[in-house]
Amino acid sequence: MRNAFAIAVGLVVSGLVVFLLYILGPQFFTFPPGANPMDPDSIKQNMHLIPTGAMILVIVAHFFGIIGGMIASTAVSETSLIPAYIVAGIIILGSIGGSFAMSHPTWSVITGIIAVIAAFFLGRIAAINKMNEE
């Protein structure tokens, strides 16, 4: 039961990290007229006009979301890395699926895949360190 709760906490933390970084996009990057950064259909239709920096911020958000979720789930579980792996797997699949669903440019998809894989390995190290602290 504790591991199920750890997964839930990891997903919530991951989602919050991603969301907080997503909402920074419009603060730093001017979106094209008619492109609503909170509406997936609007983003998909205007993807070719979205600033490169905003796309990079999405990749960064997924990167830190995975790491944050893995650390949080390990902190709750205390004895197992399995919840952290499950959280990472869900976010990785969502990130890659979202990239294709939103018709991201090829460079963004490739960079995003590399980033989430790197985040998994860094998150794994951080989760192991967290588990060893307790």
Q: What is the pTM of this model?
A: 0.88
| Enclosing H/E stretch for 48 | none
Which single residue is written with the structure tokens 């789930």? 73
CA angle 86, 88, 89 (to 5 degrees): 65
Identify which of 23, 9, 35 has the alpha carbon closest to the alpha carbon of residue 127: 9
Name the domain count of the chain. 1
Q: Tell me the pLDDT of the chain (134 aa) as tens digits.
A: 889 999 999 999 999 999 999 888 778 887 778 777 778 888 788 888 888 888 899 999 999 999 999 999 999 998 899 999 999 999 999 999 988 888 889 999 999 999 999 999 999 999 999 888 86
Cβ atoms of 66 and 52 within 8 Å: the answer is no
78: tokens are 């205390």
34 φ, ψ (degrees, to nearest 5): 90, -10
16: tokens are 């919050």
Its domain, for residue 107, covers 2-133
